[in-house]
Structure 1
Amino acid sequence: MKILDWYILKRYLFTFTMLLLLFIPIMITVHLAEKIGKILENEVPFSEVMVYLLDFTVYFSYLLFPLFLFISVIWFTSKLANNTEVIAFLSSGVSFTRFLRPYIIGASVVAIFSIILGLFLAPKASEGFNDFSYKYLKKGRKAVDNTDVFRQINDQEIIYVSNFNIGNNVGNNFTLEHFEGNKLKYKITASSIRYIPKDTIYRLKNYVKRDIGEHEDGLEILKVKDTLFSFNVKDLTPPIYAAEVLMYDDLKRFIKEEEARGSSNVGRFKLVLYRKWSLPVSVFILTIIAVAVSSQKRRGGMGVNLAIGICIAMIFVFFDKIFGVMAEQSDFNPIVAVWFPNILFGILAAYMLYNAKR
């Protein structure tokens, strides 16, 4: 049986690798053809373009890992079935579960590589990809959450800014409330706030500070007020893709800080965290489904198996995207959004495996 295991395992890894190598140039060519106009218009240096394409390759290869794997397993297993090799294996007394073992070993290798990629390589590639995109390709689109900024800066202070322009470091309709325990001690309001990097101070216009007293309030009103605060501009307006560029431990700390600050993007950030583990699991699920679909010799040949497989893959992507958007745009639980497609298709994989054994 070791010969059978090595035979299938080598075909599994070889087909998956070759599919990646074939699709990567196609992905780069299509993407470059779409973006070449803006790249030439912005006179982007050639070296930056090459680094961007490398980051693009790692970024999207990581996201599409399970689908590439799914198609490659269907492809080479269908060839085995059409050559009646699967029938020969099973007729020799090998159970279907035993036949599946080298596939699971191959899926384990790919899943481990996916974890390494997600934890260490993909964050760096995501940073380069998104930085380049917002700098040259998405001009006019905001890369930060800078509208209706409402955050808890620490245990005692909450701030609000109606909008903040990171280009000139100016925000409008600024409010800061300072609490001690459950009591409001003072409140600062200003029509605008500007950060001055040279002096590391904030300049407030139409400054009003109200100190809340036991019997009467104190009031300080100034046209312009220069002061220091315990927050900085990056804390106020982190990039929308901030979670994607952080290593795992840094990402967990970042999410805790954003939850404390009341960020509206916490759902998006948690999706990134949970997908680092759901993606490797989907490798096993899709491998089992692919084997169950393609191990039967059909009248239409390999084309029928590929058609069925691609339909299943598209449905998987649909569920993954629709639940991801729900978690980003609403209060839908990010854990449910990430794991529901895996649970649903895990049940499908168990059902198809049961029928394949029969």
Structure 2
Amino acid sequence: MKILDWYILKRYLFTFLMMLLLFIPIGITVNLAEKIDKILENEVPFVEVAQYYLDFTIYFANLLFPLFLFLSVIWFTSKLANNTEVIAFLSSGVSFSRFLRPYMFGATIVAAFAIVLGMFLAPKASKGFNEFSANYLKRNKKKVQTYDIYRQINDNEIIYVSNFDMKSKKGNNFTLEHFKENKLEYKIDAQTIRYNEEDSTYKLINYTLRRIGERDDLIIQSRRKDTLFDFDLEDLTPVEYIAETLSYSDLSSFIEKEESRGSSNIGRYQVVQYKRWSLPVSVFILTIIAVAVSSKKRRGGMGVNLAFGIGIAMIYVFFDKVFGVMAEQSDFPPEVAVWFPNFVFGILAIYLLYNAKR
């Protein structure tokens, strides 16, 4: 049986890699055709373009590889079934569970690769992909701004900025409120705030400090003031994709920090965190479904199995996207949103596997 195990395992991994190598150049070609005008217009160096498409490849491979794996397993297993190879295996006294063993071993290898990809490689690629898009491909790249930033930076302080420009590192209408035992102790206002990278200080223009007293308030004003604050520049420039650019350990620390600040984007960050574990699990579920569906020789041949597989894949993507958006935009639990598709398709996998054994 070791010969048969090795035969199936090689087909499993080889077909998956071929599927990736087939679709990645197509994706790069389509993206390049769409973005070539902006790349030439901005005179982007070739090295940066090459790095962008390397990041592009890793980013989308991590995003879509479960579906590629699912379709590749259906493809080569259907070929085995059409050539009556599956019947030959089972007729030799091999149980369906034993026949499934090399598939599970292959799924373990791919799941381990998915963990490394999702935990370390994809975050770095996501950062490069999004930064290149912001710098060269977006129409408003010269005015990349965030608006109405309102954040609790620690247990005692809250900051507000009406808008902040990421390019110039300058914001308008800055306010910092410091509380002690739920009472306002002092408040800082400034018309503009600018971050100085050389010494990590902030320059405030039209600075006003109001200290709240028992009877009277103390007001200190200055045309300009350079000072230090207990918050990072990232607190003034929150971006939606920040969670995607962090390794798992950094993301966990980042979520703890944001929870202590009362951030409204916790659901979005936790969805990214939980998906890094749910994605490898989906490899096993989708492999079982693919084998159970395609191991039977059908009258319509491989086309019927592929059509059924594509239908299941679209439903899986639909569940994943809908529940992900619900967790990001509402109080829907992120754990449920991320793991519910795997739970539903896990039940489907058990049902299809039971029928396949019969």
Fold-level match, TM-score > 0.5?
Answer: yes
Q: Compare 315-324 and 105-114 and name the one that shifted more.
A: 315-324
Q: Compare 168-177 and 317-326 and name the one that shifted more.
A: 168-177
Equivalence for 1:246 = 246
Asked if residue 293 in structure 1 is aligned to residue 288 in structure 2, the reply is no
Equivalence for 1:316 = 316
In the aligned structure 1, how far is the partner of 2:47 from the partner of 2:207? 48
Equivalence for 2:151 = 151
Asked if residue 36 in structure 1 is aligned to residue 36 in structure 2, the reply is yes
Seen in structure 2, the aligned counterparts of structure 1 residues 150 and 262 have a Cα distance that, compared at 3 Å, is farther
In the aligned structure 1, how far is the partner of 2:232 from the partner of 2:315? 44
Q: Compare 31-40 and 192-201 and name the one that shifted more.
A: 192-201
Q: Deviations over 1:238-294 (max 9, x none)?
A: 433222222211111112122223333332222221111111000001001101110
In the aligned structure 2, how far is the partner of 1:163 from the partner of 1:228? 20
Equivalence for 2:114 = 114
Q: How far has the Cα of 1:13 moved from its partner?
A: 1.0
Seen in structure 2, the aligned counterparts of structure 1 residues 13 and 152 have a Cα distance that, compared at 3 Å, is same
AA matched with 1:351 = Y
Does the Cα contact within 8 Å between 1:81 and 1:296 map onto a contact in 2?
yes
The 3-state SS of whatever aligns with 2:297 is coil
Seen in structure 2, the aligned counterparts of structure 1 residues 61 and 198 have a Cα distance that, compared at 3 Å, is closer
The 3-state SS of whatever aligns with 1:230 is coil
AA matched with 2:356 = A
In the aligned structure 1, how far is the partner of 2:242 from the partner of 2:21? 29
Equivalence for 2:183 = 183
Q: How far has the Cα of 1:323 moved from its partner?
A: 1.7
In the aligned structure 1, how far is the partner of 2:143 from the partner of 2:55? 18
Q: How far has the Cα of 1:205 moved from its partner?
A: 4.1
Does the Cα contact within 8 Å between 1:293 and 1:305 map onto a contact in 2?
yes
Alignment of 1:87-236 (within 5 A): 87-140=87-140, 146-197=146-197, 200-222=200-222, 224-236=224-236
Q: How far has the Cα of 1:326 moved from its partner?
A: 2.2
AA matched with 2:81 = A
In the aligned structure 1, how far is the partner of 2:84 from the partner of 2:95? 16
Seen in structure 2, the aligned counterparts of structure 1 residues 199 and 308 have a Cα distance that, compared at 3 Å, is closer
In the aligned structure 1, how far is the partner of 2:345 from the partner of 2:273? 21
Does the Cα contact within 8 Å between 1:145 and 1:239 map onto a contact in 2?
no
Q: How far has the Cα of 1:145 moved from its partner?
A: 7.7
Identity %: 72
AA matched with 1:237 = T
Does the Cα contact within 8 Å between 1:150 and 1:262 map onto a contact in 2?
no
Alignment of 1:312-351 (within 5 A): 312-351=312-351
Equivalence for 1:26 = 26
AA matched with 1:189 = D
Q: How far has the Cα of 1:142 moved from its partner?
A: 9.3
Q: How far has the Cα of 1:144 moved from its partner?
A: 7.5
AA matched with 1:96 = F
Q: How many correspondences in the alignment?
A: 358
Equivalence for 2:66 = 66
Q: How far has the Cα of 1:214 moved from its partner?
A: 2.9
In the aligned structure 2, how far is the partner of 1:349 from the partner of 1:200? 54
The 3-state SS of whatever aligns with 1:64 is helix
Q: Return 5+ residue gaps in structure 1 as ranges.
A: none
Alignment of 1:77-88 (within 5 A): 77-88=77-88
In the aligned structure 2, how far is the partner of 1:214 from the partner of 1:102? 76
Does the Cα contact within 8 Å between 1:186 and 1:212 map onto a contact in 2?
yes
Q: Structure 1-normalised TM-score?
A: 0.93
Q: How far has the Cα of 1:167 moved from its partner?
A: 2.6
AA matched with 1:27 = G
Seen in structure 2, the aligned counterparts of structure 1 residues 10 and 226 have a Cα distance that, compared at 3 Å, is closer
Asked if residue 352 in structure 1 is aligned to residue 339 in structure 2, the reply is no
In the aligned structure 2, how far is the partner of 1:299 from the partner of 1:26? 32
Q: Compare 154-163 and 217-226 and name the one that shifted more.
A: 217-226
AA matched with 1:278 = S
In the aligned structure 2, how far is the partner of 1:228 from the partner of 1:19? 53
Q: Compare 59-68 and 153-162 and name the one that shifted more.
A: 153-162
Q: Compare 155-164 and 168-177 and name the one that shifted more.
A: 168-177
AA matched with 2:130 = N
Q: How far has the Cα of 1:146 moved from its partner?
A: 2.2
